[in-house]
A = this chain, B = another copy of it.
Amino acid sequence: MATRLNERVVYINGEIMPESRGTVSFRDRSFKFGDGAFDTTRTFGHRIFKAREHIDRFYRSLRYLDMDAGVGPVELLRITEDVLARNLPLLGPDEDYWVTQRVSRGSEIPGGDVYQATGPTLIVECTPLPFKARAAYFRDGIDVMIPSIRRAAPDSMTPRAKTHNYLNLILADQEVRRQNPKAWAILLDHNGNLSEGIGSNIFVIENGVVYTPQDLYVLCGISRETVLEEAAKIGVTVVRKDIDLYDAYNADEAFITSTSFCICPVRGFNGKKVREAGIPGPVTRRLIDSYVSLVNYDFVGQYLKHLD
Contacts and interface: CB of A to CB of B under 8 A. Distances in A.
Interface of A: 10, 12, 19, 22-28, 30-36, 38, 60, 63-66, 102, 104, 110-115, 123, 125, 128, 130, 132-134, 145-158, 160-161, 163-168, 170-171, 173-175, 177-181, 188, 190-193, 198-199, 214, 216, 241-242, 244-246, 249-250, 270-272
Given A22-B26, A249-B63, A150 B192 contact: yes
Nearest to A35: B170
B26 A102 contact: yes
Contacts of A110: 128
Nearest to A268: B178
A31 B167 contact: no
Contact of A12 (B26, B155, B192): B26
> What is the copy number of this chain in the assembly?
6
A185 to B, nearest CB: 10
A178 B270 contact: yes
Most chain B CB neighbours (cut-off 10 Å) among A64, A180, A241, A244? A64
A222 to B, nearest CB: 15
Given A113-B133, A174-B115, A175-B270, A191 B34 contact: no
A15 to B, nearest CB: 12
A67 to B, nearest CB: 9
Nearest to A104: B31
B216 A242 contact: yes
Contact of A31 (B36, B153, B171, B173): B36
A4 to B, nearest CB: 13
A160 B247 CA distance: 9
Contacts of A153: 150, 152-153, 156, 190, 192
A293 to B, nearest CB: 26
Contacts of A35: 34, 166-167, 170
Contact of A165 (B10, B63, B134, B167): B167
Contacts of A157: 149, 152, 167-168, 171
Contacts of A34: 30, 33-35, 164-167
16 contacts: A10-B26, A19-B25, A22-B25, A33-B34, A33-B167, A34-B35, A65-B171, A66-B174, A113-B130, A114-B198, A150-B192, A152-B157, A154-B245, A165-B165, A165-B167, A179-B270
